[in-house]
Amino acid sequence: MNHRDLLIEIGTEELPPKALNKLSTAFERGVIDGLKKADLSLQDVQAYASPRHLALLIRGLQTQQVDRKIERRGPALQAAFDAEGNATKAAQGFARSCGVDVSDLTQLDTDKGSWLVFHIEEKGRPASDLIPDIVQQALDKLPIPKRMRWGKLDTQFVRPVHWAVLLFGDDVIEAEILSVKTGRITYGHRFHHPQAITIARPDEYEMLLESEGKVIVNFARRQQAVRGQIEEAAMSKNATAVINDDLLEEVTSMVEWPSAVIGNFEQRFLDVPQEALISTMSTNQKYFHLIDSRGKLLPHFITICNIESRDIDRVREGNERVIRPRFADAEFFWNQDRKQPLARRVDKLANIIFQNQLGTLLDKTRRVARLAEHIASLLGGDKLLALRAAELCKCDLMTDMVFEFTELQGIMGRYYATHDGEPAEVAQALDDYYKPRFAGDNLPDTITSQSLAIADRLDTLVGIFAIGQTPTGDKDPFALRRAALGVLRIIIEQKLDLDLHALISEAAGYHDKSIKATDAISAVFAFMLDRLNAYYKDQGIRHDVSDAVLCLQPRRPLDIDQRMHAVMDFCSLPAASSLAAANKRIGNILKKVSDKVNDNVATALLQDTAEKALYVQLTTLDTTVQKHINRRDYQAALTELANLRENVDLFFDEVMVMADDEKIKHNRIAILHRLHALFLQVADISRLQA
């Protein structure tokens, strides 16, 4: 079987930087899936992505499909011919669908019967005939939220397409993709080498574009080059560049021939909170900021240009001119905002609607304040600090700085509260209560911050559920899933022994009675418990273990966490699978019993040695296990219960539970009920998989 290298390239206007990697990955996956469905083998694939080039180099691609022998099975022989041996309509219809006469069909005999069959040898098609459709289908499936048209064409894509390459070995596969005829011509850098470049063979694509076209088309190599240039430029200032991975990826997606330029700004701007300056540099200008050995922001930045300029100083000056007005705005906002304390902005919250049915931000602030005060008291914290933090937590939304730089909410609240002379714990809480802002983020670590963070999220959850705007599918406009997970993370990972159900009920009580928030308590609690499935999956907890614990609906997340890890440890014990099966069997037995089951065992009715042994051991363990459970030492409790395995197995081997004598039957069921109830104080282990 012959093999060749295949080069696929789509040449476009500049692709969206934040979508480039996603488009490249999806394109690669789509083409590979198409080749697999066509039964075309390959050795490996190299994806390329730059602002104007989306390409794949597929090495060792099979040049032609192998011939295939296809067997189509028709009706059973007894249904294919009547008693006189004439072909039935079923046989005739099958023959017509195969394009032959009934006489051309053969018979297939198996142990299960005989059938009419049709054999045909399908000739393999050349890969070059299949590739254009495979590429087009992959392009059609790309995750493009909004496609665009250009010129007078009906073709739609994420950006206008100017050229396309389909080079199979030395030969061009002639086709039309996205209204462009394919060839072996590509183009280099828009400014350094706008002329056409002819590709002779697929394997020379990457090096040819780099050496002649001034395009580093390999994304990983280009990203490495960008990082290296940033670090080298930072060293020239005896500084460290802070390289955010998301920003690095975005900048790499914006350039084809990176060139780092270091710029400067006035020292006086460093009096402005550094988060405001960093936000402007990274979010608006895509600059990388520099810090000294103590982590302090320095008056320099690094930008990555898409061109090697002959006059680098002019490039530097241009970037400095762009950043200066934005820094001046931040400086102005900082100075103006501090003229009025945060506390004087509280009443202005009445002018901002949080949600039509749930009132203004002032209404929300008052609810959150009461709940935060309550939580702080449960945790043994200072209620007055929690109350004060809650009163001020939304006030920075009314400042000019946060109005301009919304991503600084909370951060500026901390700065302004510190300037106003608020207690340090209050000031810190105004920032920390937003945590966790994203997956893996740090958590608030003071009682004041934790109380405020939990209170704010629970108020939103209860209110939005109460008015019937619960998340559906991918739609979650109030980020309730993130809010729920944030509450759970804070409680579990900061080891706060709080009753979640009680807190939800408390939050519901502070809402206006008109929205009937108390009716939403159960739904909010169930929604939050459901978030734990994903949370524990990320921690390596088996789904059946989560199911075994959460089905009992424990009210305290910290308690749930302790149970989860105890059951995971239990699963590693030799007795686990046997006891899980036994509990499943017990559960089925108890479901069948119509009478009310209790665990009162009459010792006088114990007959068999096996049931006596199980009862004695159960009675002995009961007190010990209960002590462990009362201390929430679930691991110790399950370890003790694992000792029941031998007697439980013996009981089911030798004892007839459903005895003819009703008293003996109910007595034996009572033993099982008692055993089952003891396990259920930790988890329903009958749900564990073997």
Question: How much is the pLDDT for 514?
Answer: 93
Residues 104 and 224 in one domain: no
Query: b/e map of 481-505 (b: 16 or more CB within 10 Å)?
Result: bbbbbbbbbbbbebebebbbbebbb
Asked whether the predicted pLDDT for residue 594 surpasses 90, the reply is no
Asked whether the predicted pLDDT for residue 592 surpasses 80, the reply is no
Residues 135 and 240 in one domain: no
SS3 content of the chain, % helix, strand, coil (to 5): 55, 15, 30
- Of all residues in the chain, what percent carry a pLDDT higher than 90? 74
Q: Which band of pLDDT confidence, cut at 50, 70 and 90, is reported for residue 152? A: confident
Residues 475 and 529 in one domain: yes
What's the domain range around 491?
Answer: 342-539
Tokens of 383: 């209620």
Question: How much is the pLDDT for 690?
Answer: 62
Tokens of 400: 């000019």
Stated pTM of the model: 0.82
Q: 264 near 300, Cβ under 8 Å?
A: yes
Residues 383 and 504 in one domain: yes
Residues 372 and 498 in one domain: yes
Instruction: Confirm whether 546 is domain-assigned.
Output: no
Residues 61 and 165 in one domain: yes
Residues 534 and 581 in one domain: no
Question: How much is the pLDDT for 409?
Answer: 96
Is the peptide bond preceding residue 554 cis, with omega within 30 degrees of 0?
A: no
- Cα Dmax for the chain: 106
Instruction: Note the pLDDT tens digit of each residue in 90-118.
Output: 888 888 888 888 887 888 888 778 888 88
Instruction: Confirm whether 551 is domain-assigned.
Output: no
Residues 599 and 657 in one domain: yes
Instruction: Confirm whether 558 is domain-assigned.
Output: no
Instruction: Confirm whether 548 is domain-assigned.
Output: no
Residue 469 CB partners (closer than 8 Å, separation 6+): 477, 478
Q: Indicate which CATH number applies to the domain containing 148.
A: 3.30.70.260
Tokens of 140: 């059609």
Instruction: Confirm whether 674 is domain-assigned.
Output: yes
Question: How much is the pLDDT for 243?
Answer: 97
**Range in 234-238, 438-442, 643-647, 658-662 the model is least confident about:** 658-662
Compute the distance between CA of residue 16 and CA of residue 4 in angstroms, rounded to an integer: 32
Instruction: Note the pLDDT tens digit of each residue in 162-205.
Output: 999 999 999 999 999 999 999 999 999 999 999 999 999 999 99
Compute the distance between CA of residue 143 and CA of residue 148 in angstroms, rounded to an integer: 13
Compute the distance between CA of residue 13 and CA of residue 23 in angstroms, rounded to an integer: 14
Q: 270 near 342, Cβ under 8 Å?
A: no
Instruction: Confirm whether 564 is domain-assigned.
Output: no
Tokens of 300: 């320099």
Residues 249 and 293 in one domain: yes
Compute the distance between CA of residue 74 and CA of residue 120 in angstroms, rounded to an integer: 14
Q: Which of 284, 316, 337 is the last residue of a domain?
A: 337
| SS3 call for 193 | coil
Instruction: Note the pLDDT tens digit of each residue in 549-576.
Output: 999 999 999 999 999 999 999 999 888 8
Q: 87 near 107, Cβ under 8 Å?
A: no
Instruction: Note the pLDDT tens digit of each residue in 338-394.
Output: 999 999 999 999 999 999 999 999 999 999 999 999 999 999 999 999 999 999 999
- Of all residues in the chain, what percent carry a pLDDT higher than 70? 99
Of 184, 139, 210, which Cα lies nearest the Cα of 6?
184
Asked whether the predicted pLDDT for residue 527 surpasses 90, the reply is yes
Instruction: Confirm whether 666 is domain-assigned.
Output: yes
Q: Which band of pLDDT confidence, cut at 50, 70 and 90, is reported for residue 399? A: very high
Backbone angles phi, psi at 544, to 5 degrees: -70, -30
Question: How much is the pLDDT for 320?
Answer: 96
Question: How much is the pLDDT for 611?
Answer: 86
Residues 666 and 682 in one domain: yes
Asked whether the predicted pLDDT for residue 254 surpasses 90, the reply is yes
Instruction: Confirm whether 204 is domain-assigned.
Output: yes
Instruction: Note the pLDDT tens digit of each residue in 608-633.
Output: 888 898 888 988 888 899 999 999 99
Asked whether the predicted pLDDT for residue 544 surpasses 90, the reply is yes
Q: Which of 211, 246, 268 is the last residue of a domain?
A: 211
Residues 347 and 420 in one domain: yes
Q: Which of 511, 539, 567 is the last residue of a domain?
A: 539
Count the domains in the chain.
5
Q: Indicate which CATH number applies to the domain containing 462.
A: 1.10.3210
Q: Which band of pLDDT confidence, cut at 50, 70 and 90, is reported for residue 661? A: confident
Q: Indicate which CATH number applies to the domain containing 609.
A: 1.10.730.10
Residues 226 and 280 in one domain: yes
Mean pLDDT of the region 431-452: 95
